[in-house]
Amino acid sequence: MQFDVERTTVLGRPALSVRGELDLATAPRLAEAVESQLSQQPQSLVVDLTDTTFLDSSGARELARTARRAADESVALEVVCPRTNRPVRLVVDLLELRALVPIVESPSLTENEVGP
């Protein structure tokens, strides 16, 4: 599977859908996409790893950088990584990435998206 970062929306929020292997060779492409999205000063950003097939330490480091950068700019970040994505979730869990990155099973509704 070829690597791709697709700009999209999730529940009305800007999102990056990551497909393929997130590793040393492809992490810079995610960094560029994140930079592009954050330069638009969004209130929130979703990074969706549902279709990511592999994650190495370079990819994990890029997710940590993304979380730090989003926090510095007061952007609410969610990184979607369902438990069913076992290869990626294994790395997330082994590295205890949840301590640095807001990992969620699925995108959550924000206060503005909750209906009456």
How would you write the pLDDT of the chain (116 residues) with one tens digit per residue? 699 999 999 989 999 999 999 999 999 999 999 999 999 999 999 999 999 999 999 999 999 999 999 999 999 999 999 999 999 999 999 999 999 999 999 887 554 433 33
Domain ranges within the chain, ordered by starting residue: 4-105
**How distant, in Å, are the alpha carbons of 22, 27, 39, 102, 116 from that of 48?**
12, 14, 19, 12, 27
Q: What is the pTM of this model?
A: 0.90
Tell me the CATH class for 4-105. Answer: alpha beta
